[in-house]
Structure 1
Amino acid sequence: MKAVGEATNSDEEEAEAALRAVAEWSGSELRYALAVPGVASPVHRAVDSACWAVRVGDGPPRCFLKVLHRDQIPYVDLAAAYDAAARAAQQGCTPRPRHFLPEQRGIVFDLLDASWRTARMDDLQNSDILEKVIAAKQTIQGMAPFARTWSVFDGIRQMSADLEKTGIAFAEDAWWLLDNLDDIEQALLGAGSDRKPCHADGVSSNVMIADSGSVQLVDFDRACNADPYYDLGILLNEAFQFEADMCPALEIFEGTCRETSLNRCRLYGIADDLMWAIWGTLMDAVSPRASVEFLKYAQWRLLRCRMAVHDPGFEAMLRRL
């Protein structure tokens, strides 16, 4: 691990600035090391923030520092993320955040020990793990509202506008996909929904699994008040290819697998794919982080979105909510 003062690149310099900003660590020996390298494809992990394991004084590292990358500032409300994580931690759903460092774009959390590992997509297909993940999400959905209210359609509009400024189109059929996404939004609005506090992240790498089988959720950068079926839908979109495999998750979530609920989840998954396709294309154009495969990730999400909209059952999903 490096000592503060040994930075050799801009990410390390920003990490050191964040560590120096923690008042209670003043005068302590601080060491840090990259905890998770940022990878967009084939797995989406540690892309929004640089992530560091931190040792304060003697002993093993016990803290986890996230420093938001500058290119993500327009899309992440760190104050809202800190508040959501703090409240979820009170329910035992995520590691406790200890320090919010707004000027350094950082948050310090408790570090999970070596008995924990990052989930993979196949872990989400394990019924015991899936049930615990859904239970954690439902615990969060039962809390008082978060500070931030958001929908995937808000994200699509914001990122589409930002991408338009670059003069780059994310696809030749972008207009057609966006028209279909407008149909999805109107259908969901017409059907009505509740808004509840949501983790709002379906990525498997933001689920942690202990040797004991316990589960915690991490990364509350997207946490918001949203339709709970969005929270479930993006999880199912990550874990399963086929509707038959999604039904057991819906039975865990609401006691039965209703066609209307399944359609709602699938439509949110389609919208989420498009949003991340736009995001990846935008980041490929504007981010200085050339080593991250933003465009590859964007093309995968775009392909899955396009296939779903072309599916003969797409129109039926819109009508059966």
Structure 2
Amino acid sequence: MKTIGEASTPAEVRAEAALTAVADWTGKQIGFAPASPGIASPSHRGVDSEAWLVAVDQSSPAYFLKIVNSDQKAFIDLEAVFEAASIAAGLGCTPSPRHLARDADAIVFDLLPPVWKTARMDDLRRADVMEQVIALKKAIHGSRPFALSWTVFDRIRELDDARKAAGVDRPDDLWWMLDGVEEIERAITAAGYDARPSHADGLASNIMISQDGAVQLVDFDEARNVDPLYEIGILLNEAFPFEEEMRPALEVFEGSFRQASLDRCRAYAVADDLMWGLWGMLMNSISPRGDIEFLKYAQWRLLRCRMALRHPGFELKLRRL
């Protein structure tokens, strides 16, 4: 673990700048070491930010520092992230954010103890874990609104515009996928929904599980006011390959199973796959981080989007919304 003044790489210099920006730590002994590096495939984890473990006046780290990568700044509002995480921490859903270093594009959080591990998709298939995850997300849905509202369709348009501006080659059938998702947006808009504050993240890697089975949510970069069924839809899409497996979790969320809710969850999952496919294509073209498998991740998400749009029951799902 290095201390302030010992940085020898550009990443360490950025970490030092963020840590010295924390006024409460002036004059204290600060140590820092890199956390797990980001990967996009086979697990999407830690791609948006550089992550550091931080110790203050002690040998063991007690804080987690994240510094947004330059290629992600357009998509992350750190003030909104800090506010959303603060609200969720007040509900006991996530570790508390402690310091916002705006000029360093960084936030410092409390660090969960070493007995906590990153969830995997097979963890989410356990009923006890899924029930806890849903309970945490529902608690956030009942909190006061977040600063920002958002839909997956807004982000798709933003990413597709950025893709065009960057001259990124597109798959021959991208127009067809965009048309299919436009149908989804029209159907959901016509049916209506009430946006609620949400974690708005379906990745297993942004769920933490302790040795005794407790659960916490992390990473509020995507937190917005959204349709709660978007949040549940992308969670179920991460955890389960078949709709039959999704039904019990949806029943836990709503209290009883409703086919229209499952149909909406599945429709949102299609849009979310297209969104992340576009993101991966764009990052593969413009990101300086050549060690991240952005294109592989994009191809996987677009493949799943195609499969869902081609399903013979797709149009029926939209009519049932």
TM-score, normalisation: structure 1:
0.99
What is the letter of the counterpart of residue 178 of structure 1?
Answer: L
Contact kept in structure 2, 1:170 and 1:278, CA below 8 Å: no
Q: Distance in 2 between matches of 1:135 and 1:18?
A: 34
Matched, 1:219 2:251: no
Q: Matched residues in 1 for 2:170 and 2:27: separation?
A: 49
Alignment partner, residue 14 of structure 1: 14
Q: By how many angstroms is 1:26 displaced?
A: 1.1
Distance 2:291 2:171 in 1: 22
- SS state at 1:12 partner: helix
Q: What SS class does the counterpart of residue 60 from structure 1 fall into? A: coil
Residue 123 of structure 1 is matched in structure 2 by: 123
Amino acid at match of 1:247: R
**Alpha-carbon distance between aligned partners in 2 of 1:12 and 1:275, rounded to the nearest angstrom:** 32
Provide the C-alpha distance between the structure 2 equivalents of 1:164 and 1:122, rounded to a whole number of angstroms: 37
Q: Which residue of 1 aligns with 2:153?
A: 153
What is the alpha-carbon distance in structure 2 between the residues aligned to residue 168 and residue 21 of structure 1?
37
**Per-residue deviation at 1:28?**
1.3
**1:228-307 pair list within 5 angstroms:** 228-307=228-307
What SS class does the counterpart of residue 208 from structure 1 fall into? strand
What is the rounded CA distance, in whole Å, between the counterparts of 1:5 and 1:121 in structure 2? 40
> How far apart are residue 160 of structure 1 and its match?
0.4
Asked whether the equivalents of residues 232 and 265 of structure 1 are also in contact (C-alpha less than 8 Å), the reply is yes
**CA separation in 2, counterparts of 1:295 and 1:34?**
25
Where do residues 105-184 of structure 1 align in structure 2 (5 Å cutoff)?
Answer: 105-184=105-184
Q: What percentage of aligned pairs have identical amino acids? A: 55
Residue of structure 1 in register with 2:50 after alignment: 50
Deviation at 1:5, TM superposition (A): 2.3
Cα displacement string for residues 258-298 of structure 1 (whole angstroms, at most 9, x for unaligned residues): 11000000010100000000000000000001101111100
Match of 2:26 in 1: 26
SS in structure 2 of the partner of residue 36 of structure 1: coil
1:4 partner amino acid = I
SS where residue 52 of structure 1 aligns?
strand
1:188 match: 188
Structure 2: distance between partners of 1:311 and 1:67: 40
In structure 2, what is the Cα distance between the partners aligned to 1:131 and 1:268?
Answer: 21
Supply the distance in 1 between the matched residues of 2:115 and 2:91 (Cα, whole angstroms): 20
Matched residue, 2:83? 83
- Give yes or no for contact 1:152–1:272 (8 Å, CA) kept in 2: yes
Q: Matches of 1:198 and 1:286 in 2, distance apart?
A: 29
Cα distance in 2 between the residues matched to 1:87 and 1:231: 17
Counterpart CA distance in 1 for 2:283 and 2:2 is 30
Q: Shift of residue 121 of structure 1?
A: 0.4
Instruction: Tell me what 2:103 maps to.
Output: 103
CA RMSD in angstroms, aligned pairs only: 0.8
Q: Which runs of 5+ in 1 are unaligned?
A: none
Residue 314 of structure 2 is matched in structure 1 by: 314
What is the CA distance between 1:7 and its match in structure 2?
2.2
Residues 117 and 210 in structure 1, CA contact (< 8 A), matched pair in contact too: yes
Maintained 8 Å contact 1:145/1:225: yes
Shift of 1:9: 2.3
Aligned mates of 1:62, 1:185 — CA distance in 2: 43
Q: For 1:52-95, what per-residue CA distance to the aligned partner results, in whole angstroms no more than 9, with x for missing partners?
A: 10011123100000000011111011100000000100000000
| Structure 1 residues 179-203: Cα deviation after superposition (integer angstroms, max 9, x where no partner) | 1110000000011111000000000
Q: Which residue identity lines up with residue 261 of structure 2 in the other structure? A: S
- CA deviations on 1:18-40 (whole Å, 9 max, x unpaired) are 00101111111111111121001
Query: Offset at 1:108?
Result: 0.3
Answer yes or no: is the 8 Å Cα contact 1:281–1:294 preserved in 2.
yes
SS at 2:42 equivalent: coil
SS at the partner of 1:39?
coil
